[in-house]
């Protein structure tokens, strides 16, 4: 399959597909970070995570329309407000869902799977009723359009660079929240031993709600980033949820570094193979490899070595 | 300091504790002795709000805690070192102690805790799960002390710990009591440790307190008879 291309062409194809893979990687990381927090830390399988992401995307869409219509002067920087709003909206919905639904199901993991799947259907229909079934696109400010030419044939889109920087900042932020802040310490304590965390004075219910809201809020930011590389529709989130789960499991639950490494591996493999093979063939090969590795290493790529 | 009155605890329909009455004075150490399955751990867990109370009341320093959540009980001055220690294995020693600070909102581990357990200061960057049993026990006590309690509950602290460290632990517990003037409740099966540490010895048998005597007048053989299988 490589025979039809010259070496320089192959090099540029790999570079550009690699870069496209990096953008996919960014969305995967943002999605997976939220999911890893919720699944890895709380053991809740959140099938509605993709819909939280799409909520963020719709918030970005609304925000872009609103700013364009009322404050055209601010259009260049609306994206930052939109991200903050997406985080708040998805986080608030997450807190509401935790309070009304998830907290009653902590001891029944399979039921959370069904309940959140139902929730995802409800949210999809809600989006369809509110925003219509047609996909919507966000208009980007001028400074995010265009691309940087690296060589004659390799070009790198600016919005891709922006998404990657954003992902990097958020990954660092999540690391600090989980491992350097009081909230993160309490979250980890609750994860390891819920009963004992209560007995050293941690309000476990509050920690659960904050953790869930944080995970959903990050999904909202992922949705914001997603608007730059794809169009937003009611069911767009569903396409990503399986891949994201794969990433979380492959990386090793509760390991941030593992999540990032496995997002990178899977998105790059997918994006490069998609150019040469068909999309579904690329997916089959990725899945087979992941399943093979998980059979040899069931705990995922990264896991802590500790006596338990 | 700790008042327990007509205290009934049940798992579903099967009642385990049938109406306990005891009080612990400020600065007093009591040992609750009893064989396996007599209700020692159930008593500790229910005082901590992990197992619900069926009937009766418990109060710390005059404040009724019977219907509070665990973390509210901690805020009212009760702290717990569980059987099997239950430290957080993947968190560092320092983080383990810091979890105890949640309730007071302080962010720095008070120096006197490391003074009591110097070994924890040396190991503060290690993960709790990689410590030895005795070190984990010290860590669990340090974590409980970080909540600045008025009453400290210890559930079988000698379990799985070598004899030389058990003697050391009795000394440390008395020192904690002397320095902080708090009340300590220890549940125990090892008579020698209980006599080392306690001011008063209670015996729990089939969910009832059947014996209550100050340390000085304890008839060792009589208590030992309660403990023998």
For residue range B38-71, list pLDDT tens digits in order. 899 999 999 999 999 999 999 999 999 999 999 9
- pLDDT > 90 fraction of chain B, expressed in percent and rounded: 66
Residue A287 counted as domain residue: no
**The pLDDT of residue A88 is above 90:** yes
Residue A307 in this model has a pLDDT that exceeds 60: no
The Cα–Cα gap between B70 and B160 comes to: 26
**pLDDT class of B228 with cuts at 50, 70, 90:** confident
A188 vs B contacts (CB less than 8 Å): 88, 90-91, 95
Of A115-129, A186-200, A272-286, B151-165, the range with the lowest mean pLDDT is: A272-286
ipTM of the complex: 0.87
Domain assignment present for A282: no
User: pTM of the full predicted structure?
Assistant: 0.83
Locate the chain A residue with the closest alpha carbon to B126.
Answer: A306
Residue B129 C-alpha, separation from nearest chain A C-alpha, in angstroms:
5
Q: Is A105 exposed, middle or buried (0-12, 13-18, 19+ CB in 10 A)?
A: middle
Contact B102 A202 (CB under 8 A): yes
Cβ-defined contact of B74 to A199 (cutoff 8 Å): yes
Element at A24 (helix H, strand E): helix A7-35
Q: CB A308 to CB B129 under 8 A?
A: yes
pLDDT at A306: 58
In chain A, the number of structural domains is 1
Residue A6 burial class via C-beta count within 10 angstroms: exposed 0-12, middle 13-18, buried 19 and up? exposed
Which pLDDT does position B102 carry in this prediction?
A: 86
pLDDT at residue B23 above 90?
yes
State the nearest Cα–Cα gap between B220 and chain A, in angstroms.
Answer: 34
Report which listed range, A145-149, A228-232, B204-208, is most confident.
B204-208
More confident residue, B186 or A152: B186
Distance between CA B187 and CA B168 in Å, rounded?
Answer: 17
Give the separation between CA A73 and CA A128, rounded to whole angstroms.
31
Tell me the C-alpha distance between A186 and A204, whole Å: 8
In this structure, is residue A298 part of a structural domain?
Answer: no
* Domain assignment of residue A56, given as a range: 24-239
As given in the structure block, the two tokens for residue B60 are: 């710390």
Q: What is residue B58's three-state secondary structure?
A: strand
pLDDT category of residue B72 using cuts at 50, 70 and 90: very high
pLDDT digits (tens, 9 = 90+) for B83-116: 988 999 989 999 999 999 988 878 888 888 999 9
The per-residue pLDDT for range B164-183, each reduced to its tens digit, is 888 888 999 999 999 988 99
Nearest-CA distance from A304 to chain B in Å?
8
Would residue A206 count as lying in a domain? yes
Contact status, residue B188 vs residue B156, Cβ threshold 8 Å:
yes
Token pair of A270 as six digits: 């997918």
Q: What is the pLDDT of residue B209?
A: 92
Structural domain includes residue A235? yes
Report the pLDDT value the prediction gives residue B125, as an integer from 0 to 100. Answer: 92
pLDDT category at A304 given cuts 50, 70, 90 is low
**Would residue A30 count as lying in a domain?**
yes
Does B160 lie at the interface with A, CB-CB under 8 angstroms?
no
Q: Is the pLDDT of residue A253 over 80?
A: no
At a CB cut-off of 8 Å and minimum separation 6, what does A110 contact? Answer: none
pLDDT at A194: 87
B155 touches chain A (CB under 8 A): no
User: Please, which pLDDT band fits residue B2 given cuts at 50, 70 and 90?
Assistant: very high
- Give domain status of residue A248, yes or no: no
Q: Which residues 129-158 of chain A have a CB within 8 Å of chain B?
A: none
Chain A closest-CA separation from residue B92 CA (Å): 10
Is the pLDDT assigned to residue B151 strictly greater than 90? yes
CATH class of B2-88+151-227: alpha beta
Percent of chain A residues past pLDDT 90, beyond the cut: 26
- Give me the residue spans of the domains in chain B: 2-88+151-227
């Amino acid at each position: 399959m490589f025979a039809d291309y010259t070496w320089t062409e192959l090099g540029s194809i790999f570079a550009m597909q690699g870069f496209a893979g990096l953008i996919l990687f960014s969305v995967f990381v943002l999605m997976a970070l939220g999911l890893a927090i919720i699944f890895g830390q709380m053991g809740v399988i959140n099938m509605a995570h993709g819909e939280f992401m799409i909520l963020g995307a719709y918030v970005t869409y609304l925000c872009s329309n609103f700013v364009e219509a009322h404050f055209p002067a601010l259009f260049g920087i609306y994206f930052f407000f939109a991200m903050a709003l997406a985080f708040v909206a998805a986080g608030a919905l997450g807190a509401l869902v935790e309070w009304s639904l998830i907290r009653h199901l902590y001891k029944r993991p399979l039921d959370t799977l069904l309940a959140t799947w139902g929730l995802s259907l409800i949210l999809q229909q809600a989006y369809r009723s509110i925003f219509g079934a047609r996909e919507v696109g966000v208009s980007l400010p001028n400074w995010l359009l265009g691309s940087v030419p690296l060589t004659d044939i390799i070009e790198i889109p600016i919005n891709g660079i922006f998404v990657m920087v954003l992902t990097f900042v958020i990954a660092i932020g999540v690391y600090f929240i989980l491992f350097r802040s009081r909230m993160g310490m309490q979250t980890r304590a609750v994860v390891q031993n819920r009963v004992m965390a209560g007995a050293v004075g941690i309000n476990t219910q509050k920690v659960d709600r904050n953790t869930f809201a944080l995970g959903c809020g990050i999904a909202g930011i992922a949705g914001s980033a997603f608007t730059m590389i794809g169009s937003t529709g009611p069911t767009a989130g569903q396409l990503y949820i399986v891949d994201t789960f794969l990433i979380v499991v492959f990386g090793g639950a509760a390991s941030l570094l593992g999540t990032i490494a496995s997002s990178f591996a899977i998105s790059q493999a997918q994006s490069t193979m998609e150019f040469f093979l068909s999309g579904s063939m690329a997916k089959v090969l990725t899945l087979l490899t992941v399943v093979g590795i998980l059979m040899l290493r069931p705990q995922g790529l990264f896991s802590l070595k500790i006596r338990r | 300091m700790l008042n327990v009155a007509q205290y009934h605890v049940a798992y579903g329909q099967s009642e385990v504790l049938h109406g306990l009455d005891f009080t612990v004075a400020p600065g007093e150490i009591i040992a609750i002795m009893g064989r396996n399955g007599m209700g020692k751990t159930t008593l500790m867990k229910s005082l901590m709000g992990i197992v619900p109370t069926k009937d009766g009341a418990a109060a710390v320093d005059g404040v009724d805690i019977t219907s509070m959540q665990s973390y509210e009980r901690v805020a009212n001055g009760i702290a717990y070192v569980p059987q099997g220690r239950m430290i957080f294995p993947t968190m560092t020693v320092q983080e383990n102690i810091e979890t105890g600070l949640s309730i007071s909102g302080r962010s720095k581990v008070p120096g006197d805790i490391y003074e009591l357990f110097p070994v924890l200061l040396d190991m503060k960057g290690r993960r709790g799960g990689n410590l030895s049993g005795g070190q984990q026990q010290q860590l669990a006590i340090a974590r409980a002390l970080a909540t600045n309690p008025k009453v400290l509950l210890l559930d079988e602290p000698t379990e799985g710990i070598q004899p030389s460290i058990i003697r050391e632990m009795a000394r440390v517990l008395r020192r904690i009591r002397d320095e902080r003037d708090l009340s300590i409740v220890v549940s125990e099966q090892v008579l020698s440790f209980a006599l080392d540490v306690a001011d008063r010895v209670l015996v729990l048998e089939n969910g009832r307190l059947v014996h209550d005597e100050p340390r000085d007048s304890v008839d060792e053989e009589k208590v030992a008879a309660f403990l023998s299988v």
